[in-house]
Structure 1
């Protein structure tokens, strides 16, 4: 299929981060689609399976117990179905809330951190007595994904025609969101059919998605057709988000995507890897158009604005 989302084998254990062949493949995929599958990474199967199993246990908890962990002001905890509505700068406002529920984790912020208690810097919430292993498995997965993400940041710098260190200064203290998502089966009586996730672009730098065996993710192609991004064993789905699109001077688009509901429930894990909270984002000087001299965007301001639009708990 000429329009299929490509698989890029990054050969993490054997290839240098400045491998020109991998850089060419990444640039081609992200220039055309803003999406690709990543294979050849070094995330252990045990780590991914432990996470998926723990996430499944969480989603099976009674709703009343999950609500005890409802999302806090620091964007950590349980997000009930239909309590988020995707709005972005590039997609018009969603007409319906998202039909999904999720559990959100960020990097632990210690009380000794001077930022503790402000903005998104606060405590995670864990169902310690109900699923004591969830914290351990989320932490192990997040640590592995952060390592992979920093490798990809270097590879993306090379893919932009620069070098492996071109983007690293944005990630001295990177922000990440680990989101464990469950989509219900489609109710045939629903009209119009709701979205698991309405068409949107992601707000940060890049997203890495671990899918179960159930299809549902779709990406909008350049010809206006929705293309499936079906599960492929032993891969992660990488997509360009708004900040990376700006940094690349629009070479790589932050592509609209959505999740449609089907006859079976679906689970996925999204790892949103973003810059330092105070990072200033603008097109890289080396690839910037001479007439593109807009003021830089502070990442933290941008993400807080988007969350304020998207989540009910932030509008109270």
Structure 2
């Protein structure tokens, strides 16, 4: 469809405005998530030079030979960090069982904000080339961490909670950066195979910087698929399953996918997405929020531990026979 089914929200007045302005922005933010689980934000204050430079450096990484990229693939089966080659992941498996692997490769940094602070944990695999990649990703991570704080405060107000209600859960927030490269498709996809199959995101909120290459993001809404048209200097924000559970379904975790480019196009159709998965601390218990249930709408889910829930979803999406 030609229309953009996702609301565009300028959050600059939330960042810089008074209480009334923050409440107004938060209301729009929450309404978008109740409507279809997606919003596009502008006025976020993150330097476009930083975004573009990080994007360019990530593209240089993916342009390297496969053997060099494979040096950064971790040995663990459910790969939540490092380089993920094409062929080992099928996100649609989390919903519909066996499906062809997604037509993409990725570079993932887990708990990067903790590593930057010198805290213990699993180390990330840092590529040596291009040399500018590591400092740029570090800066980009810090920008995403600041944005996460704004999103948490907007979420609280949108859900009729005190503005700082989520401060404790987000005091050591979960933050994973994922750079996803969708190469040119030199051969026709298998039946049902897509750049990224139909799926729900797993966590709290997803922050996406998409480019304008053909074969892009679509969401399922009102009985059909709708394009999410790229808007310059914006981020697409969407609700994951964990946040939907937390809100008792008040906020929708919406089915979405990345479609293949048309086969008749000439020139490159390579696409690169920069994704930040943000959410509460991995040890946080996620139970129905006090403003999201009543006698007519009792809690729908049992409480879960945030980190355990996400790990189970990642494992379900992997073809572990190929991941080894």
Whether TM exceeds 0.5 here: the answer is yes
Residues 102 and 196, structure 2, Cα contact 8 Å, conserved in 1 = yes
Q: Tell me, in whole angstroms, the C-alpha distance in 2 between the residues paired with 1:177 and 1:298.
A: 17
Unpaired segments ≥5 residues, structure 1: none
2:303 maps to 296
Corresponding residue to 2:36 among 33, 38, 41: 33
Q: Tell me, in whole angstroms, the C-alpha distance in 1 between the residues paired with 2:205 and 2:93.
A: 15
1:68 maps to 71
> Are 1:4 and 2:5 matched, yes or no?
yes
Q: CA deviation at 1:50?
A: 1.4
Q: Tell me, in whole angstroms, the C-alpha distance in 2 between the residues paired with 1:142 and 1:195.
A: 28
CA deviation vs aligned residue, 1:225-256 (integer Å, no higher than 9, x gap): 01001211010000001111111111111001
Q: Tell me, in whole angstroms, the C-alpha distance in 2 between the residues paired with 1:308 and 1:158.
A: 34
Query: Aligned with 2:280: secondary structure?
Result: strand
Number of equivalences = 307
Q: 1:286 to 1:26 in 2, by over 3 A?
A: same
> Are 1:308 and 2:315 matched, yes or no?
yes
Corresponding residue to 1:266 among 259, 265, 271: 271
Q: Tell me, in whole angstroms, the C-alpha distance in 1 between the residues paired with 2:204 and 2:253.
A: 9
Q: Tell me, in whole angstroms, the C-alpha distance in 2 between the residues paired with 1:256 and 1:79.
A: 23
2:62 maps to 59
What does 1:108-123 align with in structure 2 at a 5 Å threshold? 108=112, 113=119, 116=120, 121-123=121-123
Q: CA deviation at 1:149?
A: 1.1
Q: Tell me, in whole angstroms, the C-alpha distance in 2 between the residues paired with 1:112 and 1:41.
A: 28
Residues 17 and 154, structure 1, Cα contact 8 Å, conserved in 2 = no
Query: Aligned with 2:169: secondary structure?
Result: helix
Q: CA deviation at 1:158?
A: 0.5
1:220 maps to 220
Q: Tell me, in whole angstroms, the C-alpha distance in 2 between the residues paired with 1:147 and 1:88.
A: 33
Q: Which 4+ runs in 1 deviate beyond 6 A?
A: none
Unpaired segments ≥5 residues, structure 2: none
Q: 1:252 to 1:17 in 2, by over 3 A?
A: farther
Instruction: Identify the range of structure 1 (194-203 vs 182-191) with the bigger mean alpha-carbon deviation.
Output: 182-191
Query: Aligned with 2:24: secondary structure?
Result: helix
TM-score normalized by the length of structure 1: 0.90
Alpha-carbon RMSD: 2.3
